[in-house]
């Protein structure tokens, strides 16, 4: 995608305009996903995990594969792994619009299982990056293949577990109902129209999300900041904007399980994208000889996921203002990660 040469100020303006378009499309997609799950009797956790997370990850998919084709290892890995802590922090930001800590709302163990599997996949990836890819199959590291296999197994387990209720929280206060009907305006919309609108929102997220990526890269060049720092911060933020808008929109209409599964599902996708990126990256296994920022981003991803896992298990926790304690700790950890990335850039 070619765009005319612009100054730094012009680039920032275009970046902001693209961000606004992604925000609107993402919020609309959250409303549509909530309506479609009700119409077709689908569990909102599954809709968030498999459909909404994939749709909002389209910019990451396109950016990752494009960077892999260009043989840019740092851009691929910093964008993917840097986005994990950021997207989890997005869930913490969405807590502002929840009626109480957002992790108090799930009534089944699905989300705790999602977080546990995400911790497993992050841990495996961290081990692989520290050991280096020892075994290579047709130019693809064995570690990347293992990540893909674990991801498929995780999705299979989550899909199978969704219909089970062998572990449920008991003796919990019911969440406060919404004081008004969910403001989606889609109650009378035909199913066919809902599907077409959802597809249009996905296309808008992909197109304007890619523009965000291009403008973020141009800001990196024009500002003089390092590509590693930009990849793990500004570029990751640009590609994570759809998750932010959809999560906030979902929380505002009371679709809390949709918001949580959207974030955890997107983070799982961030990890499995290593496999197709490794296929396209021909300079050797992509998880070999990685930078310190890669290990740091995986470590911070583990930390914020573990915090929310604790929050999902410890259901009665203190509030500070409108935020749950777990969300505040996630935001503090995310801010600490930015300082760490800047320090080692």
**Under a CB-based contact definition with an 8 Å cutoff, are residues 68 and 281 in contact?**
yes
The CA dihedral of 178, 164, 29, 83, to the nearest 10 degrees, is 110
Euclidean distance between CA atoms 94 and 313, whole angstroms: 19
b/e map of 148-186 (b: 16 or more CB within 10 Å)? Answer: bebbeebbeebeebbeeeeeeeeeeeebeeeeeebebeb
For the beta carbon of residue 320, count every other beta carbon within 10 angstroms: 10
Phi then psi for residue 82, to 5 deg, are: -65, -25
Euclidean distance between CA atoms 266 and 261, whole angstroms: 8
The strand pair at 319-320 and 323-324 is best described as antiparallel
> What distance separates the 2 farthest-apart alpha carbons in the chain?
61
| β partners of residue 320 | 323
pLDDT digits (tens, 9 = 90+) for 88-121: 998 898 888 877 788 887 777 888 899 999 999 9
DSSP for 248-270 reads HHHHHTT-HHHHHHHHHHHHHHH
For the beta carbon of residue 88, count every other beta carbon within 10 angstroms: 28
Q: What is the residue-level pLDDT of the chain in tens, covering all 345 positions?
A: 566 777 888 888 888 898 888 888 888 888 888 888 878 877 777 888 778 888 888 887 887 888 888 888 887 888 788 889 888 998 898 888 877 788 887 777 888 899 999 999 999 999 999 888 778 888 888 999 999 999 999 999 988 877 665 566 555 544 544 443 455 566 677 888 888 988 999 999 888 888 877 887 787 777 766 555 655 567 667 777 888 888 888 888 888 888 898 899 999 999 999 999 999 998 888 998 888 888 999 999 999 999 999 988 887 777 777 788 999 999 999 999 989 988 887
Instruction: Please report which helix (H) or strand (E) contains residue 137, including its range.
Output: strand 136-137
Domains delineated in the chain: 8-167+191-344 (1.20.1420.30)
3-class DSSP assignment, residue 322:
coil
**Under a CB-based contact definition with an 8 Å cutoff, are residues 306 and 119 in contact?**
yes
Euclidean distance between CA atoms 90 and 92, whole angstroms: 5
Burial class (CB in 10 A: 0-12, 13-18, 19+), 11: buried
Rounded to a whole number of angstroms, the CA Rg of the chain reads: 19
For the beta carbon of residue 16, count every other beta carbon within 10 angstroms: 11
pLDDT at 145: 93
Could you tell me which of 20, 14, 10 has the C-alpha nearest to residue 241? 20
pLDDT digits (tens, 9 = 90+) for 220-251: 777 766 555 655 567 667 777 888 888 888 88
DSSP for 151-168 reads HHHHHHHHHHHTT--SS-
Euclidean distance between CA atoms 237 and 251, whole angstroms: 20
pLDDT at 115: 94
pLDDT digits (tens, 9 = 90+) for 116-154: 999 999 999 999 998 887 788 888 889 999 999 999 999
Burial class (CB in 10 A: 0-12, 13-18, 19+), 224: exposed
Alpha-carbon distance values, 23 to 18, 59, 196, 252, 281 (Å): 9, 13, 19, 14, 31
Is the four-CA dihedral 269, 125, 153, 334 of positive or negative sign?
Answer: negative
């Amino acid at each position: 995608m070619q765009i005319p040469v612009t100054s730094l100020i012009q680039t920032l303006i275009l970046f902001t305009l693209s961000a606004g378009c992604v925000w609107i499309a993402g919020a609309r997609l959250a409303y549509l996903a909530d309506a479609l799950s009700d119409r077709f009797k689908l569990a909102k956790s599954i809709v968030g995990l498999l459909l909404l997370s994939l749709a909002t990850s389209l910019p990451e998919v396109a950016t990752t594969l494009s960077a892999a084709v260009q043989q840019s290892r740092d851009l691929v890995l910093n964008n993917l792994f840097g986005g994990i802590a950021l997207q989890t922090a997005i869930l913490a930001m969405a807590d502002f619009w929840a009626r109480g800590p957002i992790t108090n709302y799930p009534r089944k163990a699905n989300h705790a299982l999602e977080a546990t599997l995400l911790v497993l996949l992050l841990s495996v990836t961290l081990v692989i990056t520290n050991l280096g890819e020892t075994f290579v199959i047709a130019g693809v590291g064995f570690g990347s293949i293992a990540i893909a296999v674990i991801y498929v197994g995780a999705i299979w387990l989550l899909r199978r577990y969704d219909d089970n209720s062998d572990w449920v929280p008991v003796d919990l206060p019911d969440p406060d109902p919404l004081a008004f009907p969910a403001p989606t305006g889609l109650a009378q919309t035909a199913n066919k129209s809902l599907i077409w609108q959802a597809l249009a929102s996905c296309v808008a997220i992909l197109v304007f999300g890619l523009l965000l990526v291009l403008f973020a890269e141009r800001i990196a060049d024009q500002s003089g900041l390092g590509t590693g720092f930009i990849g793990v911060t500004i570029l990751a933020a640009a590609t994570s904007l759809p998750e932010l808008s959809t999560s906030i929109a979902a929380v505002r209409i009371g679709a809390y399980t949709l918001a949580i599964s959207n974030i955890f599902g997107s983070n799982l996708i961030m990890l499995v994208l290593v496999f197709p990126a490794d296929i396209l990256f021909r300079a050797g296994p992509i998880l070999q000889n990685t930078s310190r920022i890669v290990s740091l981003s995986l470590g911070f991803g583990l930390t914020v996921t573990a915090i929310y896992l604790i929050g999902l298990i410890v259901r009665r926790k203190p509030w500070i203002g409108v935020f749950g304690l777990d969300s505040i700790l996630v935001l503090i950890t995310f801010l600490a990660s930015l300082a760490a990335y800047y320090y080692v850039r």
